[in-house]
């Protein structure tokens, strides 16, 4: 199901959704965490991105696994290319888990503060925001690393 559409690998078609939605979730979550005054204005967008970004990362990961398995079964990957693709797959898995954690924590924060943007005790605002910032930064880093290793696998010499 996640292998090909009209002869094109699904992975190539869907990866751009993750490239767009994961950083948007990170940005939205950080702003939501650090700027309580904006929470009523952007809460709906953060909640939507908290669902869409992990789903996009999951579909990208699953379709990437299908693509990887097809390439290996057709013996279209050199040994050096396999090493690069293995790293790409590990980075993609890490990106998925970080994005899922960011999405869940963002959604929890939105639910806790929907009726009252300042529902959290003031002492909890900063630690919550710092955790969101750390997850957003880690997600962005691994998203970049995943894309870089994927581009190296496609366009690099191996």
For residue 49, give every residue at least 6 positions away whose Cβ sits within 8 Å of its Cβ, in sequence order, or none.
21, 24, 25, 28, 29, 103, 106
3-state helix, strand, coil in the chain (%, to 5): 85, 5, 15
pLDDT value of residue 157:
54
C-alpha distances out from residue 144 to 91, 103, 110, Å: 9, 18, 27
* Rg of the chain, C-alpha, whole Å: 18
The terminus-to-terminus CA distance of the chain in angstroms comes to 29
In tens digits, the chain (158 residues) has pLDDT values of: 778 888 889 999 999 999 999 999 999 999 999 999 999 999 999 999 999 999 999 999 999 999 999 998 988 888 888 999 999 999 999 999 999 999 999 999 999 998 887 777 777 888 999 999 999 999 999 999 999 999 998 888 54
pTM score, two decimals? Answer: 0.92
Q: Pseudo-torsion of CA 129, 135, 139, 145, nearest 10°?
A: 120
């Amino acid at each position: 199901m996640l292998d090909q559409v009209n002869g094109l690998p699904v992975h190539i078609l869907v990866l751009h959704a993750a490239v767009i939605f994961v950083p948007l979730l990170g940005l939205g979550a950080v702003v939501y965490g650090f700027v309580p005054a904006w929470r009523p204005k952007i809460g709906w967008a953060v909640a939507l991105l908290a669902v869409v970004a992990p789903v996009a990362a999951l579909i990208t990961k699953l379709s990437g696994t299908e693509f990887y398995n097809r390439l290996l079964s057709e013996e279209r990957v050199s040994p050096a290319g396999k090493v690069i693709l293995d790293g790409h797959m590990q980075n993609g898995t890490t990106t998925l888990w970080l994005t899922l954690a960011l999405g869940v924590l963002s959604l929890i924060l939105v639910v806790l503060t929907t009726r009252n943007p300042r529902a959290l005790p003031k002492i909890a605002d900063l630690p919550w925001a710092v955790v969101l910032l750390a997850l957003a930064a880690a997600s962005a880093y691994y998203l970049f690393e995943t894309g870089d290793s994927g581009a190296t696998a496609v366009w690099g010499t191996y």
